Amino acid sequence: MAGVAGVWQGCNVPPTPAGQLAVPNLHRAARIEDAVHALVERRLRRTGWRINIIAYTGYGAPGWLRVMCRVLLGRPDTRQRGRLEKVRGWRSFATLPAKHVTVTIETGGVLHEARADRSGFIDTVVEADLPPGWGSVRLSMPDAEPVDAPVRILDPQVRFGVLSDIDDTVMVTALPRPLLAAWNTFVLDEHARAAVPGMAVLYERLVTAHPGAPVFYLSTGAWNVAPTLTRFLSRHLYPAGPLLLTDWGPTQDRWFRSGREHKRATLARLAKEFPDVRWLLVGDDGQHDPEIYREFAAAHPDNVAGVAIRRLSPTQAVLAGSLPLPHDRPTEGPVGQKWLSAPDGAGLWTLLRGADLV
């Protein structure tokens, strides 16, 4: 396992946090956060709170597998944990990480061990020889109920994939507006969130036109909301696929993580992990998707099949915290990739068909 992880760490991708030791020179905010967590953890354990493993969808190829999960302390009665019930957003953030614990990963009868970081996250690459398609791995540790994590194994013959933003691309959020973002994230019932018209149909048509094509969902949202997002995508019939989120809060050297850098690093990592896959990059013009996608297309032209931007209306653009953009912008990327723009999934499908991308 260590050999595989070392290979990926040497490919200019974010190092896996599995097995990392606590770094003594933490940012002041991180030290404060750790001290508060330690105090709260002692009290919660005395009241009977137990460890729970929250599994996220992983991915890989024959020979290797990226496993992601989080280990949290939760109430003793977890019978409601897996139910598709109405969930207020703030409940997703009322959690406490189990720091530096070891989780056993079982795949194909082979056991691997990975150690959680200071936020309770495990993000590691292990050796695995699973067949292409959907599979699962078992995650377990003492005093916790074992869980199965779904994994998507890409066929080596796959040459096309969809990588999609979430906020205002598949789900209406107006995320950059601080007060509205807080309402959507911490207060709004998950069943009240609205899907962007036509996008689920668009993605289903794309995976039908390209058998075996994966769909990855990339967002600057926090891992805390991964279960909520998974239920939302399933309820609105989006194709299943790994969520590539980030962790809010202090890091080792700054107050908050950079959402833009998270997207840039994730795109670069996918280009190295799947060098033969050309991605259709889907986003919206309300945040920084066009800028990030242009940078990636210029740096990795062979990994970009095209760029599809969901165009916000003037009202939506203002709510999203940006100025309305003209509708007559170029339809080509910086190095010749097809650059398409429409207000919804139906419009993008028409343009994609005309561009021979389906």
Residues 118 and 260 in one domain: no
Residues 141 and 172 in one domain: no
Residue 328's pLDDT is 45
Residues 146 and 164 in one domain: no
Residue 167: how many other CB atoms lie within 10 Å: 24
Residues 254 and 348 in one domain: yes
Residue 5's pLDDT is 39
Polymer length in residues for the chain: 358
Task: Look at residue 75 and tell me whether its pLDDT is greater than 60.
Answer: yes
Task: Look at residue 183 and tell me whether its pLDDT is greater than 70.
Answer: no
Cα(290)–Cα(318) distance, integer angstroms:
17
| Mean of pLDDT over the chain | 78
Residues 219 and 337 in one domain: yes
Name the one residue in this structure whose structure tokens are 């769909």: 215
pLDDT tens profile 185-234: 555 566 667 899 999 999 999 999 999 999 999 998 888 888 888 999 99
The residue ranking higher by pLDDT, 43 or 112, is 112
Residue 83's pLDDT is 40
| Domain boundary residue, one of 85, 118, 153 | 153
**From the centroid of its chain, how far is CA 127?**
22
pLDDT tens profile 293-347: 999 999 999 999 999 999 986 555 555 555 444 544 444 555 456 899 999 999 9
Domain that includes residue 274, residue range? 160-354
Domain CATH for 319: 3.40.50.1000
Residues 221 and 344 in one domain: yes
Contact criterion met (CB below 8 Å) for 166 and 284: no
| Domain boundary residue, one of 93, 123, 153 | 153
> Residue 16's pLDDT band (boundaries 50, 70, 90)?
very low
| Domain boundary residue, one of 153, 185, 214 | 153
Residue 172's pLDDT is 83
Task: Look at residue 47 and tell me whether its pLDDT is greater than 80.
Answer: no
Residues 104 and 190 in one domain: no
88 φ/ψ angles, rounded to the nearest 5 degrees: -75, 140
Residues 40 and 105 in one domain: yes
Residue 220's pLDDT is 86
> Residue 7's pLDDT band (boundaries 50, 70, 90)?
very low
Helix (H, G, I), strand (E, B) or coil at 41: helix
Distances from the Cα of 139 to the Cα of 2, 49, 79, 94, 348, angstroms: 18, 20, 18, 23, 39
Residue 225's pLDDT is 83
Residue 288's pLDDT is 85
Residue 12's pLDDT is 37
| Number of structural domains in the chain | 2
Residue 161 tokens read as 């994939």
Residues 127 and 176 in one domain: no
Residue 332: how many other CB atoms lie within 10 Å: 12
Q: Taking each helix axis from N to C terminus, what angle separates 259-273 and 289-299, rounded to the nearest 10 degrees? A: 30
Residues 211 and 127 in one domain: no
Identify the weakest region by mean pLDDT among 58-67, 255-264, 275-284, 297-306: 255-264
Helices (H), 124-257: 178-182, 199-209, 226-235
Residues 117 and 71 in one domain: yes
Cα(91)–Cα(105) distance, integer angstroms:
27
Task: Look at residue 78 and tell me whether its pLDDT is greater than 90.
Answer: no
Which positions ≥6 away from 20 have C-beta within 8 Å? Answer: 115, 117
> Residue 181's pLDDT band (boundaries 50, 70, 90)?
low
Residue 173's pLDDT is 73
What is the pTM for the complete model shown?
0.79
Residues 50 and 176 in one domain: no
> Residue 110's pLDDT band (boundaries 50, 70, 90)?
very high
Residue 96's pLDDT is 80
Give Rg (Cα) of the chain: 20
> Residue 37's pLDDT band (boundaries 50, 70, 90)?
low
